[in-house]
Amino acid sequence: MTKPPKTAQTAGGETHQSAEDLGVDALTTNHGVPISDNQNSLKSGTRGPTLLEDFVLREKIFHFDHERIPERIVHARGSGAHGVFEATDDISDLSKAAVFTKGEKTEVFVRFSTVAGGAGSVDTPRDVRGFAVKFYTREGNWDLVGNNIPVFFIQDALKFPDLVHAVKMEADRGYPQAGSAHDTFWDWASLMPETTHMLMWAMSDRTLPRSFRTMEGFGVHTFKLVNAAGKASFVKFHWKPRLGLQSTIWDEALKLQAADNDYHRRDLFEAIDTGDYPQWDLGIQVFDEAFANAQPYDVLDATKLIPEDDVPVRLIGTLTLNRNVDNFFAETEQVAFLPSNIPPGIDFSNDPLLQGRLFSYLDTQNSRLGTTNFHQIPINAPRCPFGNFQRDGKMQTKVPKGRANYEPNSLADHGEDGGPRESPAIGFSTVNAATGTDESGDKLRVRSESFSDHYSQARLFYRSQTEAEQAHIASSFVFELSKVGLLEQVPGRMVSNLLNVDEDLAKRVAAGLNIPLPMKAPAAKEPIDMEPSDALSIHKNMKATLEGRAVGVLITDGTDADELAAIVEKVRKAKGKAVIVAPKVGGAKLSDGTQQKADGQLAGTPSQIFDAVGIILSEDGCAAMLKEGAAVEFVMNAFGHLKAIGANDAAQPLLDKAGVVPDDGVTGLDSKFVKAAAQRFYAREPSVRTLA
Ligand code: HDE
């Protein structure tokens, strides 16, 4: 809070007391004038009109009226956190960037986001997640502005506004607020075969992450690393979550929207707040031009990935998020990521999507943050010294001294400060290595022939999934295309594209929609079969650990105190979080007469927010729960969402009423439960819902 000046002597010699002298933090106007009354506006008489003279009122309302800034055109809803990146491997042979010096610790700020929804939308729609990292390196900021999917919908930046218009709420009706299950998205996507690969990812459980902490991140584009000798290599960046991959399933994601709109934001904040710091390893796939030229796809095409089996991911550092923001607006809202922020040692490739981004982000910050001086906002300012001759502009907060605002200058010859100078030895210089593309310089509005295969990698993705994952993909296409209302031509057109990916998938989707199988769409280039890759599956990259997972334990009056204590201890020992749920938040009276407080009230703490549930009831408690819809749903949804259920004998009638059928995931409260709680039981799924 701004403090008014200290005690001062007036010309007449009397002393004025400041608020500080009175031992209070004075509330002042923005210009430092102490405010005596923050409850009442200035009126003419006790019941008269408010006076224009009231500068306290006017300033307060004026500022309030302008508290909001335009939300991001995409990725409006996000959650951010501070952290540190530590380089753990020596890659000086590949890059001279200081951020990669083994042992170097660099401060970072990370913002995760959904793409289509507005800032106030929900956390769990089916949507791509942004994974943007700002490294405040000692050679300037490096912003790796990626997503949780390694490829993108389009190949050329010119199509981005069309993609975004099609996926965001429809222009006339203003809905849906988030998510792609509507006419205009599928109309556009089905007319754009290059979207097919990313659509496979979007329709998979990748777009339903369990937590930001359990998703991968990708730089998407091919970048370059440049070493001290100026030698360039191609590189793809990956973030690998230490907790392994985990996703929810669609019914659960839908129910999470009802249970907690802030599910991911809360999860991230609470994890950091309790010292359970999320971590990712930074991985690189490095390759040279000879490799690039030998692939059946173009490494400059952002709709293509490089299979990890072809170029293994090498881990070179660790990201730890260890501090929540102090203020959401000042930090998470005002952070401005720029893919064009890049330090010496890293460089761009000619990916036409990346090239377009280099302009867009700088431009958008001006309309969002209102000034070209947005880099001076604390969350955006480099941590290393920085300076140049750019001057003035709105919201200029720096007060440069002297006359040096141009370059070259000879002011130093005159004993004045001449200002900073360019430094060829350490400064960023664009690497001139060939990139395998036509760089003849002819002006051509074309798409390279090498970008024309839209289906091989979509097929690769589908065929790399487990059976359960394939069923989820087919079912998502059915769900989304079933939401296409007025444009009857769209679902068939989409299925005709899918016939190029995999005939079985196309048939499943057509059957799920109950439409005839259309003719295969002509492909610009016939797809080829690529070797399936385990890295593309979530299920093959999950970790059977309770770390980062939460177990909801339902109790009632009469619950056995020892049984409860034992299960809480087991979960805690396995590094999980036990959350006690009871009909009343004040808790329940346990068998030993003690009052056990609850972490959540049953009606507001449904099982979809947990990874597994324990049900520990007394006989009377169970009888009461049989008449409690929220208790029946607690169990029924845990079962339907393929989670482990550990229950004591007295809870059996509730399990029966909820339709629980014994399987490996339904256990007693022994250590079998703790093991089961770290998994999902996908084999159960065909018995609880019809999948395409
Ligand atoms: Fe973005 N994107 N994007 N994007 N993007 C924005 O920048 C844009 C693309 C991504 O947490 C905007 O500051 C164009 C790919 C993330 O603040 C905007 C193109 C990838 C974020 C913009 C793309 C991304 C954004 C909106 C095609 C993954 C959120 C506000 C050429 C590699 C960053 C803003 C944050 C945000 C433009 C394509 C990721 C409008 C023109 C590909 C994670 O400038």
Per-residue model confidence as pLDDT tens digits over 297-353: 999 999 999 999 999 999 999 999 999 999 999 999 999 999 999 999 999 999 999
Q: Is the pLDDT of residue 441 over 90?
A: no
Q: Taking 90 as the threshold, does the pLDDT of residue 17 lie above it?
A: no
Q: Does one domain contain both 480 and 334? A: no
Residue 358 in contact with ligand 1 by CB distance below 6 A: no
Cα distance between residue 646 and residue 563, in whole Å = 12
Q: Is residue 68 in a domain?
A: no
Residue 338's pLDDT is 98
- Whether pLDDT at 436 is above 70: no
Give dist(CA 252, CA 309) in Å, integer: 32
Average pLDDT value for residue range 109-113: 99
Q: What is the percent of the chain where pLDDT is above 90?
A: 94
Which ligand 1 atom minimizes the distance to the CA of 72? 30
Give the model's pLDDT for residue 24: 73
Q: What is the pLDDT of residues 46-84, one digit of tens each?
A: 999 999 999 999 999 999 999 999 999 999 999 999 999
Q: Residues 311, 371: one domain?
A: yes
Q: How far is the CA of 361 from the centre of ligand 1 (A)?
A: 7
- Per-residue pLDDT at 9 exceeds 60: no
Cα torsion 33, 34, 36, 41 to 10°: value is 30
With 0-12 CB in 10 A as exposed, 13-18 as middle and 19+ as buried, what is 326?
Answer: exposed
Of 347, 376, 405, the last residue of a domain is: 376
Concerning whether 147 is annotated as a catalytic residue, the answer is: yes
Q: Is 313 helix (H, G, I), strand (E, B) or coil?
A: coil
Q: What is the mean pLDDT of the chain?
A: 95
Q: Please give the distance, rounded to the nearest whole angstrom, from the Cα atom of residue 671 to the centre of ligand 1.
A: 46
- Tell me the C-alpha to C-alpha distance, in Å, between residue 223 and each of 44, 104, 284, 447, 452: 67, 21, 10, 20, 21
Q: pLDDT class for 433, splitting at 50, 70, 90?
A: low
Is 360 a pocket residue for ligand 1 (Cβ < 6 Å)? yes
The pLDDT tens digits for 181-216 are 999 999 999 999 999 999 999 999 999 999 999 999
Statement to judge: residues 535 and 550 lie in one domain: no
The answer as to whether 494 is a domain residue is yes
Please report the pLDDT score of residue 5 as a whole number: 47
pLDDT band with cut points at 50, 70 and 90 for residue 2:
very low
Q: CATH number for the domain including 625? A: 3.40.50.880
- Annotation marks residue 409 as catalytic: no
Q: Are residues 563 and 668 in the same domain?
A: yes
Nearest residue (by CA) to ligand 1, atom 24, is 146
Q: Are 241 and 93 found together in one domain?
A: yes
Residue 509: give its domain's CATH number. Answer: 1.20.1370.20
180 pLDDT more than 70 = yes
Are both 367 and 470 inside the same structural domain?
no
Q: What is the pLDDT of residues 120-152, one digit of tens each?
A: 999 999 999 999 999 999 999 999 999 999 999
Q: Based on the fold, state whether residues 125 and 161 are members of the same structural domain.
A: yes
Contact 215, 240 (CB under 8 A): no
| 51 within a domain of the structure (yes/no) | no
How far, in Å, from the CA of 300 to the mean position of ligand 1? 18
Confidence at 90, pLDDT banded by 50, 70, 90: very high
Which DSSP string do the residues of 187-233 spell out, in sequence order? HHHHT-GGGHHHHHHHTSGGGSBS-GGG--EE--S-EEEE-TT--EE
179 and 276, same domain (yes or no): yes
Per-residue pLDDT of 474-530, as tens digits, reads 999 999 999 999 899 999 999 999 999 999 999 999 999 999 999 999 999 999 999
Q: Could you tell me if residue 71 is inside a domain? A: no
Per-residue confidence (pLDDT) for residue 10, from 0 to 100: 52
Domain end call among 336, 352, 376:
376
Is the shortest distance between the CB of 109 and ligand 1 below 6 Å? Answer: no
Asked if residues 344 and 426 have their Cβ atoms less than 8 Å apart, the reply is yes
Residues 449-471: pLDDT tens digits? Answer: 999 999 999 999 999 999 999 99
Same domain as 343, residue 316:
yes
Q: Is residue 508 part of a domain?
A: yes
Contact present, 200 and 255 (Cβ < 8 Å) = no
Confidence of residue 432 (pLDDT cuts 50, 70, 90): confident
| CB of 301 closer than 8 Å to CB of 351 | yes
Q: Which of 71, 77, 145 to mutate to test the pocket of ligand 1 (most atoms within 8 A of CB)?
A: 145
Nearest alpha carbon to residue 431 among 291, 143, 225: 225
Q: Is the CB of 133 under 6 A from ligand 1?
A: no
Residues 249 and 121 grouped into a single domain: yes
The answer to whether residue 397 sits within a structural domain is no
User: In terms of Cα–Cα distance, which of 25, 27, 48, 24 is closest to 39?
Assistant: 27
- State the SS3 of 430-499: CCCCCCCCCCCCCCCCCCCHHHCCCCHHHHHHHHCCCHHHHHHHHHHHHHHHHCCCCCCHHHHHHHHHHC
The pLDDT confidence band at residue 3, using thresholds 50, 70 and 90, is very low
Give the pLDDT band (50/70/90) at residue 422: very high
Establish whether residue 428 lines the binding site of ligand 1, counting it when its CB lies within 6 angstroms of any ligand atom.
Answer: no
Instruction: HSE, CB side, 13 Å, CA atoms: give it for residue 171.
Output: 5
The answer to whether the CB of 356 is under 6 A from ligand 1 is yes
For residue 13, give its domain range: 1-41
The count of domains in the chain is 4
Residue-wise pLDDT for 207-249, tens only, equals 999 999 999 999 999 999 999 999 999 999 999 999 999 999 9
Is the pLDDT confidence value at 1 over 60?
no
Of the pLDDT bands very low, low, confident and very high (cuts 50, 70, 90), residue 682 is very high
100 located within any domain:
yes
The answer to whether residues 183 and 213 belong to one domain is yes
Q: Does 357 lie in the same domain as 236?
A: yes
Q: 437 pLDDT exceeds 90?
A: no
pTM of the predicted model, to two decimals? Answer: 0.95
Torsion angle, CA of 244/250/255/259, rounded to 10 degrees?
A: 30
Q: Which of 334, 354, 376 delimits the end of a domain?
A: 376
Please work out whether the CB of residue 160 comes within 6 Å of at least one atom of ligand 1. Answer: yes
Please report whether residue 646 resides in a domain.
yes
